[in-house]
Amino acid sequence: MIISRPQKGKVRTRRNFVMSFLVGLFLIAPWVVLPEGSPLIRLDIPHRVFHLFGGLFIPQEGLILWFFLLTMGLSLFFFTSVIGRVWCGWGCPQTIYTDLFDRIGRFVLDSKYGKKDASIVGKYTVYFLWIVVSFIASFHWIGYFVSPYEMLADYVSLSFVNQTYFYFTLFFTAAMFIDIGFIREQFCRYACPYARFQTLLMDEHSWNVTYDFKRGEPRRDGKTKIGDCIACNMCVVVCPTGIDIRDGLQVGCVACGKCVDACTSIMAKENKKTLIGYFSLKQIETGAKIKWIRPRTVIYAILLTVVVTGAIIQLVTRTPMSMIAASNKSMPPILIPDNKIRAFVALRIQNIAPIEKEFQLSASDTRHGKEILIRSGEENNKFKLGSGEIKSISVVLETQPLTEQELNEGYLPGSIVLQNAEDPEERLEKKLSLTLPRR
């Protein structure tokens, strides 16, 4: 386990602001409830509904999930190719909470933090505070799946033992305490998949934390000054993963910028510019400006734009209702007097709007353009559903009188329409093929 030395500087100040914002957002978001009563973000797995920024989504909307995952993947490709491992150094929970744990350790143990001669009481105080932070973070993580208000009420009333979320919270608390407290940089160096393929996404034009070897090498040897690097090794001392940035781009580098601040402060004493900063490799080799527009960034940008546009179109044109229709296999369509066909269909209807709505059912014969009578047991085939509410019903369809030719066609293509009773333009149509009984 590496305990890196703290380092102040411009990068550190900016990272403090970004990290504070991200942690604050993470802790606040589960508690936010919108005016209509739905949570800002809630992945309600038991009820199979996802609340996202006022929208209600269900697992059946696989295309939206596909767009979301593709957007995340392409964003990773694009931003890594342009500005390197910005996620690792500025947004990754592993980096943020490692930094937070170190702050707690230094607050309690001061200069003894990370040293073997630190007091036992001080060490266990640090461990206790780490566990508290891990529990708070885990509680809020579970709060994205279960109402934090309900969990807090259960904890206050001591009725949480029989709740499933309690054991998930304990698991994530232990996992975070062990990972952030003791595994730390080993995860970044050996387990993180992103670190493994970052080199494939970056090239010599990517803007990343880089050492200016042309100015720095060869390093100072004793009192002999050769390059600008004075071999103080401060960049290694402050590195949270223990690498030497002067050896070039490495899997262990999380681009946190601590070495930038360290080198900047040391070089300032020499009245020279920093040797470590946010540069591109090509910029160091040739002194040329960073080439932001290049084939890979253009391709990633085009693909990302196409996917985001598709996602926006999908969201804008999305109908906030869901209906699954299936013929009753145990009760096939039958022929009744006057050459009518009676069929039995099972419907599963869900309101995926954030407010209560009234719906109406209708059906039609799409081949012959005739209306099909539908009996649902509801008055005028109308019913109300609250946000996220599901209604499973069996309906009876009855066609208009059919001619002999129509009866011999083998099947009857029809459709069931679910529409908003107050806004008929908001409708969902499901095709249904009714097998005609043999005569």
pLDDT for res 222: 66
Q: Is 271 exposed, middle or buried (0-12, 13-18, 19+ CB in 10 A)?
A: exposed
Distances (CA, A) of 310 to 75, 306, 319: 15, 6, 16
Instruction: Give dist(CA 384, CA 141) in Å, integer.
Output: 34
Domains annotated on the chain, with CATH:
10-61+84-201 (no CATH), 321-435 (2.60.40.3880)
- The answer to whether the CB of 113 falls within 8 A of the CB of 106 is yes
Q: What are phi and psi of 262, to 5 degrees?
A: -65, -45
* Length of the chain, in residues: 439
Helix, strand or coil for residue 9?
Answer: coil
pLDDT at 197: 79
pLDDT of residue 439: 59
Q: Is 28 exposed, middle or buried (0-12, 13-18, 19+ CB in 10 A)?
A: exposed
Q: What is the pLDDT along the chain (439 residues), one digit of tens a residue?
A: 788 899 999 999 999 999 999 999 999 999 999 888 889 999 998 888 898 888 888 888 888 888 999 999 999 999 999 998 889 999 999 999 999 999 999 999 998 998 888 999 999 999 999 999 999 999 999 999 999 999 999 999 988 888 899 999 999 999 999 999 999 989 988 888 887 777 788 889 999 999 999 999 888 776 676 889 998 999 999 999 999 999 988 888 999 999 999 999 999 998 999 999 999 999 998 888 888 999 999 999 999 999 999 999 988 888 889 999 888 777 888 888 888 888 889 999 999 888 889 999 999 988 878 888 999 888 889 999 998 889 999 999 988 888 777 777 777 788 899 999 888 888 999 888 877 776 5
DSSP at 221: B
Distance of CA 33 to the CA centre of its chain: 19
Q: Quick check: 295 and 302 in contact, CB under 8 A?
A: no
- Is residue 246 within 8 A of residue 310, CB to CB? The reply is no
Question: What confidence score (pLDDT) does residue 189 get?
Answer: 86
362's enclosing H/E stretch is: strand 357-365
CB atoms < 10 A from the CB of 193, how many? 7
Short-list 402, 2, 370, CA closest to 180: 2
- The residue to which tokens 């040293």 are assigned: 115
* Residue 261 DSSP code: H
> Rounded to the nearest 5°, which phi and psi values hold at 384?
-110, 145
Provide the pLDDT for residue 337: 86
Q: Which two tokens stand for residue 26?
A: 């993470």
- Residue 367 is predicted with a pLDDT of 81
